Structures are given as C-alpha cells and as structure tokens.
A and B are shown apart, each in its own frame.
Chain A
C-alpha cells in the first residue's frame, strides 16, 4: 500500500495531465510497467488521473453513493473479478456485466467496499449516463460516467451482511447517452471500459481462511486469470511433468471460472494466484515449507497459507505416483460447501448449458425483463451447446420474443438477432402505433451455431422521429420505447450429436478428441522447456475446463508412437515437417512466414510482455492477455495479406472506434459527430437500403434467388468433387500462434497442433489464446492467432468427417443423417433422384399388375 498525502488540487491536476500525456506517449515504447499479481497503482507510472482525486460532486437529483477513491487508501489491494467471455466493456446505451466472486466466510464477514475503475468514451454524456453497482441483486450505488481521459476509480460501500460466503453476484451496469447524437449508429460510440486491474471487492485477503474447500476463493490477477506458479527446481521428467499438468488442470477445475496462467519456476508472492507443489514425498524433499506438512504417509493435499513473500501454496503429494494421481483427483473434486452463494451464477457465466430439445426463458439465461428508453437495446446471452453437436441446416433454434414496442417509433425500427456475430434474423417493428407481442417467433438456423459457447445478441433498434432533433432535455426523451420480457422463450431443437473432424470448435468446446477417443491422450512436447511447458499446461488446463474433467495426458517428446490423440505444443522449429503436414499445414510456408519472428523474445520487464495494460489498450478493448508488443509486428505485409486481413475476425466485432485523443477538454460537437469511415459507409448503406424503392426490393429478391442458385450450384459441384483434402492455403504472417487440427475419420489418430515462432511467443500467445474472449472464437481446422490483438484468421476445412460420439440411437442417427445430408447436398439430391427413379419404376411395374390392365 502506498499513501498519497493530499495536495493542492490545481497543481495536482496539472501534473496529472502531463503524466497522462506521457503515459500515452510511452505506450508504444512499452515503458509502462506491468506485474503479474503486482501493485496495479504502478501501472501508469504515476499517480492516478486527476479526476480520481477530485472530491465527489453529487449529481443533481440523487446522492452519489460512490465515493472517489482516496488515493493510497484503497488502490492497493482488492479481490479482483474473474474474466469472462464478455470481457470488461460496457457498451451501448444500456449494458451490464455480471461476475461471480467467491469469498471465504472471513472475507464476507468484514467491512467491504466495491471498487470500480473505469475509462469511458468521450461521447458519453455524463449528465445522463450512470454506472450502477449491484451486489447480490441489491443496488449499492451509482456514479456518473465521466472518465474520458483517464481511468477513474470509484468506491462504493457495501452494507454489512450483503456479501455472502461463497459466490456473490457483482453486477456493473451502465446507462449511457450520447452527448450530441441521438442516432442509433451513435450508440456504438458509447462505451465504458472497466479496468480489471483496479476493480474488485475491497476485502481482506483470504489468508488463513483459505482452505481446501474454498479454493475458488483463490484470487485472479489483473487480467482475470488465476496465476499458477508450478514450483520447479530442476528439469522435470516427463512423468513428473504429467503430474504437474494434471494438478494444474485440477486447479483450473476447482476455480471453475478463472483460467489459470501457468508458469514454471520459483515461488511467487502477492495475494493473487497460487503456488503449486507437485510430486512424491521423495521429490519434494527439501522444498521450502514441506516441513510444515509433517510426514507424508499417503495421498496428501495441503494448502499452505500465504505469507509475505509467498502466495498461498498448494501441495499435491503422496508416497508414490499413484498417491499423487489420487491426490490430483481429490483436488479436482474439491468443492465449496453446499449452498455457498450464487453457484448457479458461476455456471451461468460459463454459458447456459443446453443439450438439445429444451425450452428456456430469458430469465433462465440470466436476462431480466427490461424497459428501455434509448435507441439501441442490446441483450446478450450465451448458450453452451454440446461440443459434439453438428451445426448444419437441419433445424432452427426458435426465439419466441415477448415484449412491446411503443408508439411513434421510426419505420426502420427493428429487432436484429445475431448468433456468434453473424446476423440470423431481422424483425421489423412495423407498427407505428406500437405493438405488444406475446410470441413473435424468430428462427435462428442451426448452421450459425457452433459447438461450445454461442453468443446471442438481440438488438432492438428503436429510433423515433424525435431522435433527429435530438433534444435530450425534452421530457419525452425518457419515455420507454421498447420492452423485452424475461419470459421470452428459446426453444432448442434436438441436436445431431457427433463430432466433425477437423473442427477446433469441438476441441475448444469440449476437448473432444482427448476425452472422446479410446486411446490415452498424449501431450507431445518435443522441447520441454519452461515456456513450452507453461504453454502446454495453460492449454491443457483450458481443455480440462472445457471437458469438465482432468485429461490424463501422457507427456512425451515424440510425436510418433502411441495410439491416442495427440496435443502437440512446440515452437515451429522443434517440429518435424511431417508433424506440421499431418495437420494440413505447409511446413515451408510456415518456416518462411515466421523467419523474421523466430528470434523475438520478451521485452525486458518483470513479467515479460504479457498483460501490458495501457489506456490505449483499454480503449481498444483488447483481451487482457493478448499483449504481444506491437514491435513484433512486421511492417511489411505478405502477399495477399490485405485480403486475408479482411477475413480477420475482430473481437468484439466492429464496436470499437479508432483511438481518440487522450486530452479531456470538452469535445466540440462536430468532432464527436464524426464516426469512422466504416461507420459512415454502414450508415449510408443503411439509409439507402431502407429507401422505399420497389425496384431495389425486386432486385434484391432476384439477387437472393440468383445467389441461392449459385450457392446451390457450388454446393453441388463441391459435393460432387467429394472434397479432396487440400492443405491449408491461408497463412497469416501476423499470426504469432497457429492452432490446427488434422483431418481423419478416427478420433484416436487426431492431432491438434499448437505452434509459434519460438518458445517465448508460444507461451505468450497461449496465454492470449485461453483468454475467454479469444478462446470462444476458435473454430475451423486451422486458426491463426494474432496475440497482439487477440484476433483469429480462420481456415475452414474443405470437407469434414463425421465421427460418432454417442451411443447409437435411432433419433440421433436420424438427426445425423439430416445434418450429414445438409452438409452434402449433392448426395442428398442424388439420393432423392435415385429414390424417385426407384419409386417411379416400382409404381410402373405395380400398376401394370393391379386393377385392370391396359395391355
């Protein structure tokens, strides 16, 4: 903890401004420092931005229950929030983020505050925008959103007794309005970014309270990941590595939410994270602190509380290999006591799990009824589909919307439903007099869904004529325009259950080849150095979370041999061309492409290049762990990179405007009005399209028909060509990591390759890969990750094999056949023709013999 004595405000503001400017200038040079589990106040190399120092001025009309942090008194230590798939950004007019935070009984008892650090877009009008904090469904305070230039820290006192032992629901919600523009498009400029490093519950460290039953209270670092330091004093044998990786997986399972960030090395300090000691009693002899455990006579799992120089330490040991393995299992099944808070929420944060054939309500997926008076209401929820689900057009998820729209909406008002960022449906709200809909059915084709986590965005665009005038002070401007009810239903059809191969979505969603295959899964580490092993452990832990169980990887350095599916984690140079080719990649191409990067190593700094948190990165909403220095990026783009760049999937899609000036003087309206060119294009496109031209519409229908026919023809041609296995044509030279899966019709022979230019990049990129926001977007047969941005370039397979994973049943076979035929139109058509031919000939033959005969 560091104290900042009060100083004259004016002077401080000036200094702070200068510092803020410096910060921005220094970002690119990576001079800002970062720590894993370190003190976040050091992050910007200076005192907090001036706004945070100002005494709170209560907004008119209501008391601000939040108080601006007294610098020093609170900046130090907070129990941070776990990162989720939705990241840390509140965007649009109304948004909220919810985090399950596990507390020990001791932490829940004491006095607590909620600290929120945030940065907001310059367009957000403070007088009509508010950030509200809710803990366990009770509002504990709100503040005006006003932090365009620097991170602002606000603290809210949590009433005694509000926090519970176990999971607590912490919800941050915003209601934001644009300063000058009332258009729907302008709502995309509104955002409030939570700074995860300085946001959290200000409670005591778990300390002595921490025990094996509430390991979920282990605290994440500023990126929301749980740092796990595997204590290592010597080069481990594969067998030992296997146990360590098993134990890391077990911790990942216990934490449930926070993914681990694994490093091998000496013990770490601080309140976040855990040190992990794994080994037989023999191996652990001499490790510091082992003496406290006493004699080890069998499987033993122990937790050594944190000390000043050491984070909590988990010891996984036993007399022999079997004992350790048993202990690992025990760890994996360590669960908090029954009824510890909002456990359901913890599940929900990972996406509501569905298996097909269910009906859910919005309430079930954590969305409440909402009355809305802005222009664009975005409702988002996540559904986790089985990893062995085949997406194809054999069914539709039906969304039965219940809600209402007010009178006086503009004609272009509509509801748009996106699935995984792709438009699935658009429902006009055509009634000028308003409409109450109980059950407006919106089909969402199954082909848009993916195995594992799926993001569904329901956006209600409800502009009114008054938006053109944009008089925000008019009394009518706060009238409700749209209502969505939590009884809105989602009906999931029955799903075809089998796995497509290759499909990284099945890997990320359920660790499919490793848990579904018969053979022992293998983790192939040709170069078992610390970085590679760390990357492997991180990925193994993430897969364990996906699989919901420990995957007992056999660690080996040899890609050949063995009959189980293999996860190969290695720098590209350590791989044989055959291994690279086995997943359909071109070894030469990769070698050439990464030539320049092979020598890139960590920038100097206590924590390497990971997790550099800067204002710029906050603004751009880059996933926390995806922070490879931009210096790594080659200036010269390879041939065709421009086209490929267009294919790149940005996360999240197109909501982030280009970086804005850091200075915070009031922005002239003209400036704020200017959207990026892509926004403008979209805007004009929108305008033109909504124009009432029947010719356009006819042309559109015509185009649709033509497109469909063309697609159909291509599909037919593709099907007829029987999809030869071509090698991956894509190569993204900006990629720092490639994840690729080999084709094949057997899961046992499956190979998933994770490679990077060198070991250090491998570790840094793997850490980015497992960020929930990045991991979710993994699919295709090869994914090229740019760990500076957390974006993928995806290569889709030309053809896939379908491999059964479920016990055979008629209903599943039926669905599988449908899915397979959907994916193979040529065969469907050919079968249909054949059946028609047979039926016709059979009828012709039959008719001759029944009834009176013509001949």
Chain B
C-alpha cells in the first residue's frame, strides 16, 4: 500500500510537471508577436486540426488535444486583444468604452476557461449497490410549500409516499409556510381565513396520504427556516428535499441512497431537475420537444464536471442530505436567498463531500411566463452574488483550490448580463457616434477576431453541442440580461437586502399576448433596428465610411437577430396543454361501457392521458361524446396495486386496426392521486427517454439557420400579438372565486391559476378538466404565421425528421 501510494504520488508529480512544461511552452510560443498572416495560418491550421479530431477521433485524448488547440487560439486572441487593440488613452472616450468592451470580452474568456477546467472530465457514475432493506438508513422527505395548490402537493406527496423504499424507514413531511401562525393571524381577514383553510385542507390531505403536516409560528428565513423547522422535528439519517412541484419518480431513493453507505463523509447526493413543461423560451419558440432545456447543460455537463472535483452543489430540491452533516453546520444556511448553494458551500468547506447522480429522478415545473422566469432568475442571480460578496469562495477556509474555482465559476457566471449588454450596445457607439473602440486593421480582424469567434463557437459546440443549440445561450443571456443587470446593481449596492421570492409557477396563459415585460425588449429591438438601418445607410451612401462599418453593421445585425428572437419570447403563446404531460409506456386495462381491454398508456398528465388500444374494442360511435370508464394500471415491479382511475373518454383517433383514445380524469380523490402518481411517476426512464430524445447534436450550420429564422420571423409574430384585441378582465368574478373555492375537486391543475390572475378560471370547465385543445389549433396558429415560407418549412421538416428518427413505424403522438 505504501509503495503503491508513493508510486502514485511520483506519477502524479511527473504528470503535473509534464503539464506545466507543456503549458509554459504554449505560453512562450503564444507570447511571440508573430504577424497577422502567420496568425491566420495558425488559426486556420488549428481549425482544420480540430475538425479532423472532431470527425475522426474519439476518446479523452482527442478531446483534450481539441480543447488545447482551441484554448491556444483563444489565448492568442486575448493576448493580442489586450496588447494591440485598445484605443490610445489620448482619446479618453474611445479608450473608456474600449476598455469596457475589453473587460466584457475578458470576462467571457475567463468563464470559458474556468468552464473548460470544471468540465475537463465530467464524471459518469455507476449506480451504487443497493443495501439490504434492514441496513437502509431512515429517510425523511421534506416538501416545503408556501403557496402551491393542493393538487400539486397531492401529487408530490403521493409520489413521495410511493417511492421504492421500506415504508417504515420513509417519513414524508409537508412543511407548510402558507399556513403558519403568522399567516393565520394576518391583519387582512381574507388572507388569514385563506391561511387557516389552507392549513386545515393540507392537514387532511396529509392525513389521507400518510404524511406529516408541519408548520411553524413565523415565516422566518424563508425556505431555509422552513426546512430547519423540519429538521427540528425529523429524526431520520437522511433528509430528502423536494420542492412542492418536484414530483419524485419511484426509483428516486434506490438510485441515490446507496452512495451514503459508500462514503461516510458524504453530505449530499444531488439529482438533476427535469421539467415537464416548457419555460417561456421553449414554449414561445416551440422548442420544448426538440431542443434540450436550458438547465440540461448545467445538470448534464457542469454538475458532472463539478462532481469530478467534489464540487457539485445543492440545488434546493431533488437532493439527499446527511442529517449529521446538516447538524454540524447548524441546519440549512439562511443568510442569502440561495440557501441551497450556501449550505453546500458551508459543508464543502468543512470537508464534507458531495455526489451528483446524472439521472432525472424527479419531474418538476418551471415558470411559465416570462415575468416569473425573470423573477426566478433574479433570485438565483442575486443569491449567488450574495454568496460571492458575503462569503467569497476565494477566502473561504477549508475549500480546495479547485473547489474555490468551482464555486467562483458558479457565482461569477451570473455576471453575464453585463457583458451581454455591452456586446449588444457597443457597436452602436460606432454607428451613431463614430467612436472607435477597437483598433485593428481588416487583416488583423480576420486573422484574430474572426478565427477566434469561429473557434470559440467550435469549442462550445464541441463541449455542449448535445445540450445547447448554437446562439441559444446568447438568447437566454440577453433575455435575462436586460433585467438582471438591475438586480446585480441592487445586490452589489446592498448585498443583504434581497429577499426570498417564491417563484410563481401557475400563471395563466390562456391566450396569446405580449408579456408585460415586453417594453424594454421592443425598445432595444427598435434601437438595434435603427442601428442596422443607419449602418447600412452610412455604408452605402456616406462616402468615406470604411469596411469597419460593414463589420460593425453585421455585428449589430447579429444582435438584432438575437433581439428579434427575444421578441418572440416576449410574445407569449397560450398554453395548449393545461397540465404538462409525460410520455410513458405502461400497460393497463381500460373499462368502457362494461367492456375491458388491454391498453398501452402512452402519455399522461395530471388531467388526462392517451392510451393505445385495438381498434376492434371500440364500438362504433365511441368517442363522439364523453363516456365514463375506468383505467387500471399494471404497477411497476415491486409497487403496490393502486385502485382504478375514473376516466372519461374524450376523443378517439383511429387507424386501420389501432386506436388512440384520449381519456380525461374526472373528480380526482386523494386515492386517485396515488394511482395517478403511480402511473405517471412510476418509471424514471420515461423522463430520461424524453430528455434523450432532444439531445441530438445540433451542428453549427442548422443551428445558425434556425436562430436567424427566429430573429427574422418572431418579431412579426410579436407585432401581431401587439395588435390582438385586448381581453378585458372580468373583475366581478374574481372575489367570488377565492373564498368559495368551487373547484375543490377540479384543481387537478398544476396550472390552476390564482384567482387574482385568472378571471376566466371560473369560466373554464369547473367540474372536470377542460377539454384538451385540439391539435389543429396549434397547426392553425402556425399557418397564421406565414406557413409556406420555405425556410420555416424546411426547419420544421428537419426537426420532425430528426425527432421521428427511430420511430418511423409509430404514429406521431397525438398530444403536441
């Protein structure tokens, strides 16, 4: 052992030495100020070599050579940029703006390199062995809630109760912050009444499902305080945290809990957050079914990368924590508004370790509207900056250097709005004011800047290609940037001020409209449009204007495309599916009109499902009018049999010998939730299949084409929405809706809107799920937007083809 250890140490030392020598050699070579032409040759050669590596080689070595090539070119660019391109200080205005632009670029390069280090070798973990039932630790499941609907909670709690784990070792706690003593004694009698009613309802729900209801006196320290209150009552070895809208799959614990047995210093097992519904970008640009979600890059690359360095951190939900570790740290930290990261940060610096399991084991919801989305991101951004300012990782004792870098990267990442806005507006300075903030000849621009941009895109596409389409990062950054810049300023000015705002995930979206936040996006779009126009005019008609204007004009045009796509995000599409659905593949038996047949459940949401069955089973005329029936689902291995679900046949679509039926769930009781969650969340593989289906490498060419198309077409849609007749709210209905709660049984709706927001809620089907909007509606919408345009058709076709790749023999899913 001693020998082996020594040998290993020598080997590592030698490898460090080799690496340092290679790095120094690279830096020395890069430091050589060779001319632009040689630089061009070098960059082109590097590009070629990278392409060859990309296409013909595989494996870690090729990967690192690829990254090294790209890094050297990027470093060369940075060196040149810093030493050669700043305007002279004799021109203070140009110099000042030039410096700002340079700092923005340096930030991006910093983030690029840090992320390359972090993601050097993302970890792939095998599933841990499962211990004997008797040896399993006691698990407490915390479901903190603040204002979520009962329907949401019912589903989460039912699923949590059904997790594959010895029942006597699993305690589920509903930690209600909406029914605290403080809330129940609210000065506003209506609010106090609502809180009291909430407390009673939830206590009943918990009683029915076998969960523990817990609330507290005062809403102190927000979510962290709520969780700590749970800690005060729970006694298990492991604490699992699920946000109220994060529903665990049955295998959640079997996939994760084993890690604790392997490492006694393990304090955290984090799993990814996977979502059933699209965020505003995905919904409004219709990419949910084909483009990986924004957070998949973080959960499938970055967290795995962090895991290698023992740096994966707690993301607030879908994670397991060791009780003793939490006790050592004094519970969940609550200084900042991102208690999750802060807690992990504390524990990492105390020498505890973390593990990340890259398997979607929960299915959650994300904010629907742009407003809520921005609100959520503002919280994350401000919270991360709070940690950065109040507990700077660089000075935190106990962290390893690489962990410091890891935390620093996660925190400084949130600085992105500032450079993004700099890049958006910098070219306008030249177009409108003739400021020269970047001094370079055309030759140099081609040799350094152009190749840098291409190589940077190649690097990102290589590392993240499966998870991020080209330029989508820029779009997300810009959308958040306009608002987060303000948030950053406010948190930097007073780091202790931000408060925890619960992200609203149930806003109404039943008609197409422009988001309330659209104004700044429109303003920026118009500004950039004017910039492009002026640039084009000046370039074409103003003599003496050089090619620089052309370059700057193209840059602005790219920004305009981004801003155009962002306008598409502001143009909120109505939600075609009231509750998000998940494709599953489960067997069951359908009873309709006294006949029973085997069916395959293909897709299920909280209010409906689609099943495939033999067409012969259906009597003629079936499906023309609602028909009640029941659905019994074959439980997954090891699960208890749940009772049959009451369903209503809503629609039928037949082919020659098969039929696809759409079944609505009516009048869900608490026990129905148990059955429904067993159906929907029985197999984690369903979620994984859904994600993997979207993870196809998007190459630079089609990705760019797609982005440009958004940039050109989406503003038109936004313009159309702007002139849609405004739907006037019906104020009379609103007060009535709240206290009487007429939809007690009907609120399957995870989407069930708050009364303040949804005056039309009462007009929707009050006794059952609203009829699923027929698919043609969406198609009609598409037609409105200039169907027949070949670019869009081509892209749609391409996407369809890719999506249906291996499933040519099966029909398209009915629900869209």
Contacts from A to B (Cβ < 8 Å): 392-396, 400, 410-414, 425, 428-431, 437-441, 443, 445, 447, 690, 692, 694, 697-698, 700-701, 704-705, 708-709, 711-713, 715-716, 814, 817-818, 821-822, 825, 828-829, 831-833, 835-852, 854
Contacts and interface: CB of A to CB of B under 8 A. Distances in A.
B40 interface: yes
B98 to A, nearest CB: 11
Interface string B449-464: 0000000000000000
Interface in B342-382: none
B123 A854 contact: yes
A566 to B, nearest CB: 34
Contact of B61 (A692, A709, A831, A844): A844
Interface in B11-46: 11-12, 15-16, 18-19, 21-23, 25-26, 29, 31-38, 40-42, 44-46
Nearest to B12: A849
Contacts of A692: 540-543
A836 B443 contact: no
A217 to B, nearest CB: 45
A445 B88 contact: no
B61 A412 contact: no
Contacts of A844: 60-61, 63-65
B67 interface: yes
Contact of B310 (A701, A705, A713, A852): A852
B121 interface: yes
A708 B67 contact: no
A392 B35 contact: yes
B259 to A, nearest CB: 12
Nearest to B62: A840
Given A428-B546, A840-B66, A835 B447 contact: no
B323 to A, nearest CB: 24
B124 interface: yes
B64 A441 contact: no
Across the A-B interface, give the 7 residue pairs with the lowest CB-CB distance, nearest first: A393-B35, A439-B90, A411-B543, A840-B65, A411-B544, A840-B68, A840-B64
A695 to B, nearest CB: 10
Interface string B97-122: 00000000000000000000000110
A846 B402 CA distance: 14
Contacts of A705: 446
A852 B18 contact: no
Interface stretch (B434-442, B506-514, B762-770): B434-442
A431 B434 contact: yes
Contact of A700 (B23, B33, B547): B547
A425 B310 CA distance: 54
Given A411-B542, A832-B42, A850 B123 contact: no
B87 interface: yes
Contact of A829 (B35, B41, B61, B308): B41
A197 to B, nearest CB: 46
Contact of B26 (A690, A697, A713, A839): A839
A393 B61 contact: no
Contacts of A701: 442, 547, 550
Contact of A711 (B37, B88, B550): B37
A847 B72 contact: no
B491 interface: no
Given A694-B540, A839-B64, A852-B123, 20 more contacts: A394-B33, A395-B33, A443-B441, A701-B550, A704-B446, A715-B41, A716-B41, A817-B32, A821-B32, A822-B38, A829-B41, A829-B42, A832-B42, A836-B65, A839-B65, A840-B65, A842-B21, A845-B15, A849-B15, A850-B402
Nearest to B553: A694
B80 to A, nearest CB: 12
Contact of B88 (A439, A698, A709, A849): A439
B19 A843 contact: yes
B310 A412 contact: no
18 contacts: A394-B32, A430-B434, A692-B541, A701-B442, A822-B38, A829-B41, A829-B45, A832-B42, A836-B72, A837-B68, A842-B15, A842-B22, A843-B19, A843-B67, A844-B60, A846-B19, A852-B308, A852-B309
B79 interface: no
A710 to B, nearest CB: 11
Contact of A393 (B34, B65, B89): B34
B20 to A, nearest CB: 9
Interface in B164-209: none
Contacts of B310: 851-852
B19 A394 contact: no
A847 B121 contact: yes
A445 to B, nearest CB: 7
A708 B544 CA distance: 24
A91 B544 CA distance: 27
A203 to B, nearest CB: 46
A836 B26 contact: yes
Contacts of A412: 543-544
B803 interface: no
Given A692-B540, A705-B446, A841 B61 contact: yes
Contacts of A852: 123, 307-310
Nearest to A849: B12
Nearest to A690: B543
Contacts of A850: 12, 402
B68 A715 contact: no
A829 B34 CA distance: 11
A400 B65 contact: no
Interface string B534-571: 00000111111111001000000000000000000000
A712 B43 CA distance: 11
Contacts of A438: 90-91
B37 A854 contact: no
B49 interface: yes
